[in-house]
Structure 1
Amino acid sequence: MRVGGKIELKEEFYKDSLYKNILKDVFNADIKTIVGFQTRNPIHRAHEHLQRIALEICDALFINPLTGWKKQGDFTEAAVMSAYKTMFDKFYPKDRVYIQGLQTAMRYAGPKEAIFHALLRRNMGCTHFIIGRDHAGVGDYYGIYEAQKLAKDLSMRYDLGIDFLLLKEPYYCSKCQKIVSEKNCAHYKEHRIAISGTQIRKDLSEGKIPSELMMRSEISASILALGRENIFID
């Protein structure tokens, strides 16, 4: 099936959000490096761990959650923003973090979408971009570090105008008693407690506070306060 005909531009929908350096006036002049973080979920302990590492490396952190189409069962924009508002108000340095939604669809296209996400954030003013476990993946369709491999390969061949922070999956180690990754912990097989997004969703859908090991109770409470009908996309 093919469709032909005249194309008429109705609205330059992405003009101010995808291609404009929106961060140039957000941070003070001392901020030289800004790391972007793509998300479609409320912040949990694993994402917090990645973001804190990024803040050690870069001057500032830009949280840029998707606010366009997402699949059924994903978190709503309200749930994501409520979680991050709590995190910003209670835990993060206010002069080094910024959040703004990005109204584009989640495509679940894995590695290629990870690069697309990075280039969008480059255009918005980021110097660095985080790619973690199974970026833009769905189920077990992609390998968990395929996106990182593509990012590394492309960076060696081209100047993409943005640096990547390729970080391993964080988990809670009952031996170390902290959030770690396989790169800095020897107990992956014996003492690993996964920070499960599936379990977090299940708990919140049942009106329960997830384990403090997975999500801060303050974050969970802010999400549950929205009411079940406002937490998940139907």
Structure 2
Amino acid sequence: MSLTIKLHVTTSHLNITAIKRPTLPRLRTTKPIYHSDALLCLVYKQKPTTMHEPARSTIKSSLIEPDGGSLVDLVVPESERGSKALEAESLPKLSLTKIDLEWVHVISEGWASPLRGFMREDQYLQSLHFNSLRVKDGSVVNMSLPIVLAIDDETKERIGTSPNVGLVGPNGDLIGILRSIEIYKHNKEERIARTWGSTAPGLPYVEEAITPAGNWLIGGDLEVLERIKYNDGLDNYRLSPQQLRNEFDKRQADAVFAFQLRNPVHNGHALLMNDTRRRLLEMGYKNPILLLHPLGGFTKPDDVPLDVRMEQHSKVLEDGVLDPETTIVGIFPSPMHYAGPTEVQWHAKARINAGANFYIVGRDPAGMGHPTEKRDLYDPDHGKKVLSMAPGLEKLNILPFRVAAYDTVEKKMAFFDPSRAKDFLFISGTKMRTYAKTGENPPDGFMCPGGWKVLVNYYESLQTEESSQHQAVLST
């Protein structure tokens, strides 16, 4: 989403607030949580032009240059697969967790371009302290999250002096090779404090992937034997950056705007996405394409599971809330950190590599409630502000949008009008969850009927499972 694109921006239509830049397996849980974002805005990776320049782009959006100049693809050619597999089998083995495998997926397809493997120490320190990497030509690319692989003392001793290791997946299958390895200390406290800005207990990714991890990190160049598949019925949605670029070309897109989400789509989200397309058309684009791009890696247990979300998204398209002709639905394979302004940079950077040149970001992007206090972990406006200043995202500009809420007069989701505030209803995540759990319908126009039915069925299935488990306990 890194190429300068010429745009005609009419401030009378967009009401832009200028921002000056500095020169620098599915789990079921008993307490599901649905979180709804009300304040949404559009962030696009380019410089606006003067008022009198022609309203057109200079190149197809799908040909925007990936970070580092070329898209990384670390899957070995089929002709070499046999010999590489034999070599991997002969090497010391390193077992991957489910989240490690998701990172292998991310790296191997080029979402983290120009990264070519798990980070070595110099890359790790740059990411941790500067949120960026300096590449060979001296330029800087954004890399706000450390992408690392942890090992314990026993594994370190077993590897010994071997320069290469074989990678084994959670199911025992051979995944690939990590070459020219470097092993260095894993200072967990420093990593957690700098990534989350907090060391409070209860951070989901920390508890799942860092606290139980080993005290060493291993970096090196990655080679993957075959493209990562999950065999969960959703692999056809897991389009790589190159596949997405090909699809944008096929549809003759002259702009691509990506929407990152990990929740079901309600009509407030759809309002923003449709309004974004309208504004792009006003700018002079002829065929803007929406990349509806739900996160498909690790999420905390009380988030709606991926398969349920994908079914809900399909209903949004079936019901015509979003136009299938101008929408591509794909799964972004990254794990979720819930690291707020630090993580939202990663979400934006990855979509650059997929060829998108517009990026929609919501209120408190990648944020969550504080794990031990009754407050948000991050300032809800800091994510969009950080994106406007982040190293490696220098051309990022912000177009603020108004708050979306339910208009009780018009009986639909609409942008909040302060002059008649009493007419608007803010439906929180807690309120919507209560609706779904009790079987009560939300106001007409809040979510498409087909999508809402998917959520109701999901929460009913949870209640059925809870009841069965309770009966089993009583019987025992």
The TM-score by the shorter chain falls in which range?
0.7 to 0.9
By how many angstroms is 1:32 displaced?
1.4
- Which range moved further: 170-179 or 132-141? 170-179
Aligned length: 227
Aligned ranges for residues 66-215 of structure 1 at < 5 Å? Answer: 66-91=295-320, 92-139=322-369, 140-154=376-390, 158-159=392-393, 166-174=400-408, 178-182=412-416, 185-187=417-419, 189-215=421-447
**Alignment partner for residue 265 of structure 2, among 23, 43, 46?**
43
Amino acid in the other structure paired with 2:424: R
Change (3 A) 1:42 1:214: same
Q: Secondary structure at the match of 2:243?
A: coil
Change (3 A) 1:23 1:51: same
Contact 1:35 1:62 in 2 (8 A): yes
By how many angstroms is 1:75 displaced?
0.5
Rg larger for: 2
TM-score, scaled to structure 2: 0.43
By how many angstroms is 1:77 displaced?
1.1
Contact 1:128 1:163 in 2 (8 A): no
Q: Secondary structure at the match of 1:50?
A: helix
Alignment-derived partner of residue 461 in structure 2: 229
Amino acid in the other structure paired with 1:104: S
Change (3 A) 1:18 1:106: farther
Matched residues, percent identical? 22
Root-mean-square deviation over aligned CA pairs: 3.1
Change (3 A) 1:195 1:68: same
Contact 2:404 2:415 in 1 (8 A): yes
- Which range moved further: 6-15 or 101-110? 6-15
- Which range moved further: 145-154 or 22-31? 22-31
TM-score, scaled to structure 1: 0.81
By how many angstroms is 1:158 displaced?
4.8
Change (3 A) 1:53 1:171: same
Cα distance in structure 1, aligned partners of 2:278 and 2:419: 24
Change (3 A) 1:161 1:212: same
By how many angstroms is 1:203 displaced?
1.7
Contact 1:34 1:126 in 2 (8 A): yes
Q: Secondary structure at the match of 1:130?
A: strand
Structure 1: tracts of 5 or more residues without a match: none
By how many angstroms is 1:47 displaced?
1.0
Cα distance in structure 2, aligned partners of 1:26 and 1:213: 32
Change (3 A) 1:159 1:145: closer
Contact 1:38 1:63 in 2 (8 A): yes
By how many angstroms is 1:39 displaced?
0.7
Cα distance in structure 1, aligned partners of 2:397 and 2:429: 27
